[in-house]
Amino acid sequence: MFHFKIVTDWIDEFLRTNLGEGWALLIEFILTGFAILALYAVLALILIWAERKVCAFFQCRLGPTRVGPWGLLQSVADMVKILLKEIIHLNHADLRLFRLASFLVIIASLCTFGAIPFDRGLHAVDFNMGVFYLLAISSLGVVGILLAGWSSNSKYTMIGAMRSGAQLISYELSCGLSLLTVVILSGTMQLSQIVEQQADGWFIFKGGVPAIIAFVIYLIAGHAETNRGPFDMPEAESELTAGYHTEYSGIQFGFFYLAEYMNMFIIAAIAATMFLGGWMPLHTPWEGVNTLMDYIPPVIWFFGKTFFCVFLALWVRWSFPRLRIDQLLKLEWKILMPISLLNILFMALWVLYL
Amino acid sequence: MINYIKDIFLGIWRLMQGMYITMLNFIRPKVTEQYPENRGKVFPSERMRGELVMPHNEANQHKCTACGICELNCPNGTIRVIGKKETDEASGKERKVLDRYIYDIGSCTYCSICTISCPQNAIEWSNNFEHAMFTKAKLVRQLNKEGSSVAKKEKR
């Protein structure tokens, strides 16, 4: 099995032998930062293309076909367009907060992105309480969204931001609770440990019924957290033009757009890591199948599972009509939350007696 | 409590049905026509009103008698029928024949009143829809060909 640990360890050793301890560390930090930023941007472009293509296919269209083969360069062209656009500031906007907001949103999603285990050795932030880190840092984005809505000095953005705040904070609960179900099963919060524990079967198979319930609840709640699909109340273009980012233009809007797509990827990646085994290949009781599965590199396993979850999100998004705000909160507080609380209990009993 | 649980399962079932329908659409062959590539291969409908034409037979004859009913009926002055006097060699009488039939696509709304009102069925619609021109003057066309004449009416 090829792991990126070989490559990263080699780079680490090379730097440490040729440079001092401090310099090696500094260069490693810079390299990691660049790698994460580059991967972030490229993945966002791929996701935007995939979204447009999948959306088109669900609507019986072909989607972008003109720029590059199968329209692959379409999102690159979009990026160039958005970079060239003028940034317009509003007259009575709180300029300092207005500028800060887009950065807060993207910083929150970038920090979460760093904590995703792509492979053994391709894992920038690996705490012993990684799940808590994920939950904490990903909910920082709410601050950015609220600030964006407030500082724009517009009714649409204000209403959008308030809806977004209510939605994100309430769905954070069942999101966290369903991740805690997995923590009960695994007994650790370190993401790399969680992935290693799934070597003899992914948690969705090992955990049985409660794990499946938690997976479904996580997908729903996570989908709501990305402000997309049937839960796009904060953006509701038919009511609020574009919600909290109505007044943004140019690359500032680009940041919100990027963060939205990458949040979708991050939610899918966490779902893949916690329930579908992350980069761990599919391991079954039969040895022959296991060795066959091990030939596929873990990075491909990881991206395969993640894009499967992304596809589920897109499928849901292009199938269902938008929820009303009271239906949205009812779904969370009356259905998802009680079920996930009971599910935690169920999982604890499952771990104790099975 | 029973209703609550029933609602949840019913809701999940309904959502699955919706997702099944969208999945069917996802797999279905797509309806998009990629226009410049499939040029001339696919055609919308025979009844589509692309542009007005005046059919001519092999002897370069059309059916228009220059009566001007189409010009009168046209709601926005798209058609101009310019006639000329000509003496009939057989009888020696003077009669009006078509000189130029001017049609301006730029102001045509494709309402088809002209073809309906024409007593001779001299004009009809063709399927050509590629009208884009660089100058406005090119949109004004003459429908009767050079040197064409009126076809003799078939006796019933």
Query: How much is the ipTM here?
Result: 0.75
Alpha-carbon distance of A197 to A178, in angstroms, equals: 18
Q: Residue A106 and residue B148: Cα distance in Å, rounded?
A: 72
**pLDDT at residue B40 above 80?**
no
| Banded model confidence at residue A148, pLDDT cuts 50, 70, 90 | confident
Q: Is the pLDDT of residue B7 over 80?
A: yes
Q: Chain A: nearest CA to B1, how far in angstroms?
A: 12
Q: B20: distance to nearest CA of chain A, Å?
A: 9
Task: Return residues 57-96 of A near B (CB < 8 Å).
Answer: 57-62, 65
The CA-atom distances, in angstroms, between B105 and each of A6, A284, B109, B138 are 71, 71, 8, 9
Residue B147 has pLDDT above 80, yes or no: no
Out of A25-29, A86-90, B90-94, give the one with best mean pLDDT. Answer: A25-29
Map residue B103 onto helix, strand or coil.
strand
Q: Which residues of B touch A337 (CB under 8 A)?
A: none
Q: How close B28 gets to chain A, by Cα (Å)?
A: 7
Is B30 in Cβ contact with A58 (below 8 Å)? no
Nearest to A60 among B15, B23, B25 (CB): B25
Contact A183, A129 (CB under 8 A): no
Across the interface, which of B8, B18, B30 has its CB nearest the CB of A62?
Answer: B30
Residue A326's SS3 state is helix
Angle between helices A208-225 and A250-275 (to 10 degrees): 180
Q: Which CA distances in Å does A9 have to A4, A14, A15, A25, A63?
A: 8, 8, 10, 13, 42
If you average pLDDT over residues A300-319, what whole number do you get? 88
* Measured CA distances, A171 to A14, A227, A263, B82 (Å): 45, 11, 14, 75
Quote the CA–CA distance of A238 and B74 in Å, as a whole number: 41
- Band the pLDDT of A293: cuts 50, 70, 90: confident
